[in-house]
Structure 1
Amino acid sequence: MKTYISLLVTLFILTGCTEKKVASHEEEELQDTTLVNLTPAQLKNAGVEIDTLSMSNVTGTLKLQGAIDVPPQSTVSVSFPLGGYLKSTDLLPGVHVRKGQVLGILEDMQFIQIQQDYLSAKEKFQFAETEYRRQQELNASKATSDKVFQQAKAEMETQRILMRSLAQKLELIDINPNRLTASNISKSVHILSPIDGFVSKVNVNIGKYTSPTDVLFELVNPKDIHLALEVFEKDVNQLAIGQKVSTYTINNPGKKYEAEIILISKNLNEDRMASVHCHFEKFDATLLPGMFMNAEVEVANHKALTVPESAVVRWQNAHYVFKALNDSSFKMMPVTLGNQHNGKQQINSKSLTVNTRVVAKNAYALLMKLKNSADED
């Protein structure tokens, strides 16, 4: 019985020790994912140098992305008040147009009818006006009754109303009623550009019938074209209205377009980003709405926690620095990056403070050692 109890006690102790060793081993494996140890010889051969974090003046370049945008009041949708068949147009997206320029030509029988109606109404008005004056003279000499005179006046006013309403319809389709005669009635009408600008969309083709609700062309006034940039919440306070912005397209980064910040949105979108609107100092017709662009903004001096650029390593889409726990042990700490200036990289981390010792040079040697060790395990 005593032997049996002794065996149970021994088994319990061994089991406890085994569990502690397993737990200890698991903790070491977890630590190995962020901890790396190097001997003095390894540190020397890798050229690793240690320095302390400090607060430095940072005058950095904030890099942003965005797209060419046009405010609603600068986008014009061109329609036509009456339906018709498109006879001709030579417009293409990107083509510059002048105010009053012919964008296209429409044809329809109703154009002929409205001109005919106007000329007929004009003739009837002139006849009614002549009859009114004749009745006015007769009435003045009491040669005709007041009733006949009033009827003549009413007929003249009725024809005047009809003629003027038809004249307004003609002006809506860009036909000058004062120049319209029986000899120049046309089955065609011109669609004229209401602004100076360029074509952004062509929604019709020759031979297509268009209705008054159809948008035939879309034009853009380049005077109000601007660049809409997106900036992260943490960087918004570094920007101010009036700051200069250097922009460039993705396809041609060597060509710079200078702009100025005119508006900074006070609202954040679902990605915690704010919109920054910029006006170009000189408009370039090659910049089209919707075109993606990159931008660089010089931000003002401010104190920030910095390390040498060589202290930061990138691993699996994240950035890290190695904190020196002692002269041979280092812990990989996650950081977010700020601006760069004169070889210094601004970092943000709740776990790192001024005078914290970090690897300042050849930090990638530690990353390679850490990851190679993890692969071997």
Structure 2
Amino acid sequence: MKTQILVGLVGLAFLLACNSAGKNETVRAEKPAAVNQDEVQLTDEQAKNAGILTGKIEQKAMHSTLNVNGVVDVPPENTYSVSVPMGGYIKKMIILPGMPVKKGAVLALVEDQQYIQLQQDYLTSGNRLKFLAADYTRQKGLNQTKATSDKIFQQTESDYNNQKVLVKALAQKLRLIGIDPETLNENSITRDVKICSPISGYVTKVNVNTGKFVNATDILFELIRPGDLHANLTVFERDAASLKIGQEVICHTTADPEKKYIAKIHLITPNIEGDRTTSIHCDILNSDNKLLPGTFLNAAISIGTSKVDALPEDAVVKWENKYYVFEELGNKRYKMIPVGIGTALDGFIEIKTSKKLSNVVTKNAYAILMKMKNGGEEGE
């Protein structure tokens, strides 16, 4: 009896082992083979319908470019700060930020008693000069006939010359505050002076208000003459050696990427800042009224012509923010190869890769990409 039970248990164990092995074999048979996600197989008909063409990477002469950014700027000689030479109270303001102004236009009126005093001093000094001039002429005649001493004549001459200096100095002070001394008389004395625009341009800043007292050192307004705008661009240290005066720069704004502004490098700052960059100043040749100071710019600097590896633009695909080409492995099988890209010119684009590629797809590469990604989704 024990023998029969033992034989039964052994048989049961054997059957269970066989069933387990059979299930494992079934599982192994049902598990799909691993698929290379970078490769795709096309049939002859699919390749023909997609218009797939292959070829080799070519050597093309292309302009090497350096992509940088910066801002629209105004040269220092086109930026003006307006102040009042002698200070005073702002009596009236006639401008606002952003207003266009003509050269000589009145920006504000400033009043102060010192303006009255200056005009008074000039007029009284002029009257005294007339007296001293007459006295000098009289003393000169008397001295020639020895009717008066040399000392008296010399003193008269000194007083006359000193008065001439004083009158001329006061006249220049009047001109400094915008008053013409030639037309000034006792009936035209004024207590306020006009602050006029030194250029034709735009007002960028107004730093005062009506009734405020300003000193001679205070900047009342800031003006710009936008006719000669330039681009102030930032370049990294590693690229600075490639720059030369006169190189062409193509700029565009983020607001209007299609509008291209042509510029030439005018000045290269000869030192590297703490952030390992330097700045370059470029004259914009075709600026317009849409280009405002402070506008952000994207720019491409042409740094020379060289032979580079290139493919037709139709050979390069973009997937998940990376660029790829397809290498033909034979029998309509293609492998997706990551690459870098560079300059584009006349339908060709520079290819940067360390892998030696023998035969690549040159036309309709996107058709292969769609087959690869759609086929992958169906397989899942």
> Which of 86, 107, 110 is equivalent to 1:106?
110
State the one-letter code of the partner of 1:38: V
5+ residue gaps, structure 1, are 1-30
What CA distance in whole angstroms lies between the structure 2 residues aligned with 1:129 and 1:371?
A: 108
Q: Match for 2:143: what amino acid?
A: N
Partners of 2:247 and 2:302 within 8 A in 1: no
Give 1:336 shift: 3.0
Task: Find out whether 1:335 has 2:344 as its counterpart.
Answer: no
Cα distance, 1:332–1:178 mapped onto 2, change above 3 Å: same
Which residue type is aligned with residue 357 of structure 1? Answer: V
Q: Is the 8 A contact 1:119 1:182 kept in 2?
A: yes
CA RMSD of aligned residues (A): 4.3
For 2:373, give the aligned amino acid.
M
Match for residue 212 of structure 1?
A: 216
Partner of 1:196: 200
Q: How far apart are 1:222 and its partner, in Å?
A: 3.3
| Aligned residue among 260, 264, 282 for 1:261 | 264
Report the TM-score, using the length of structure 1 for normalisation: 0.71
SS of 1:82 mapped into structure 2: coil
- The equivalent of 2:38 in structure 1 is 36
Q: Write the letter of the residue equivalent to 1:104.
A: A
Verify: 1:160 aligned to 2:164, yes or no: yes
- What is the aligned counterpart of 1:90 among 67, 71, 94? 94
Deviation at 1:251, TM superposition (A): 3.4
Question: What SS class does the counterpart of residue 139 from structure 1 fall into?
Answer: helix
Alignment of 1:280 onto 2:285: yes
Checking the alignment, whether the CA contact within 8 Å between 1:242 and 1:261 is kept in structure 2 is yes
Amino acid in the other structure paired with 1:174: G
* Cα separation, partners in 2 of 1:209 and 1:42, compared to 1, 3 Å: farther
> Which amino acid counterpart does residue 162 of structure 2 have in structure 1?
T
- The aligned counterpart of 1:54 is 57
Deviation at 1:154, TM superposition (A): 2.1
Pair 1:313–1:244, CA change in 2 (3 A): closer
1:118 equivalent in alignment to 2:122: yes
Corresponding letter in the other structure for 1:261: K
Q: Distance in 2 between matches of 1:271 and 1:47?
A: 49
User: Structure 1 residues 268, 322: CA separation in 2 closer, same or farther (over 3 Å shift)?
Assistant: farther
Structure 1 residues 275 and 165: CA distance shift in structure 2, 3 A: closer
Q: How does 1:1-377 map to 2 (within 5 A)?
A: 36-40=38-42, 44=46, 49=52, 51-55=54-58, 57=60, 66-228=70-232, 241=246, 249-252=253-256, 256=259, 259-261=262-264, 263=266, 265=268, 275=280, 277-281=282-286, 283-293=287-297, 303-324=307-328, 328=333, 330-342=335-347, 344-353=348-357, 355-357=358-360, 361-362=365-366, 363-365=368-370, 368=373
Q: Which SS does the other structure have where 1:51 is aligned?
A: strand
Kindly state the Cα deviation for residue 348 of structure 1 after the two structures are TM-superposed.
1.6
Residue segments in structure 2 that go unaligned for 5+ positions in a row: 1-33
Greater mean alpha carbon deviation, residues 113-122 or residues 296-305: 296-305
Q: Which has the larger displacement, 62-71 or 126-135?
A: 62-71
Offset at residue 177 of structure 1 (A): 1.4
Instruction: Give SS of 2:104's match.
Output: coil
SS in 2 for 1:337: strand
Report if the CA contact (8 A) 1:227-1:280 is conserved.
no
How many matched pairs?
338
Q: How much has 1:141 moved relative to structure 2? A: 3.2
- Per-residue Cα deviation, 1:210-235 (whole angstroms, up to 9, x for no partner): 22222222222334223445678779
Contact 1:55 1:303 in 2 (8 A): no
What amino acid is aligned across from residue 364 of structure 1 in structure 2?
L
1:176 is matched by which residue type in structure 2?
D
SS in 2 for 1:190: strand
State the 1:184 CA deviation.
1.0
User: TM-score, normalised to structure 2's length?
Assistant: 0.70
User: Is the radius of gyration larger for structure 1 or structure 2?
Assistant: 2
How far apart, CA to CA, are the structure 2 residues paired with 1:66 and 1:266? 14
Distance 1:99 1:228, change over 3 A: same
Distance across 2 between alignment mates of 1:132 and 1:347: 92
Preserved CA contact (<8 Å) 1:100 1:194: yes
Partner of 2:26: none
Overall identity of the aligned pairs, in %: 33
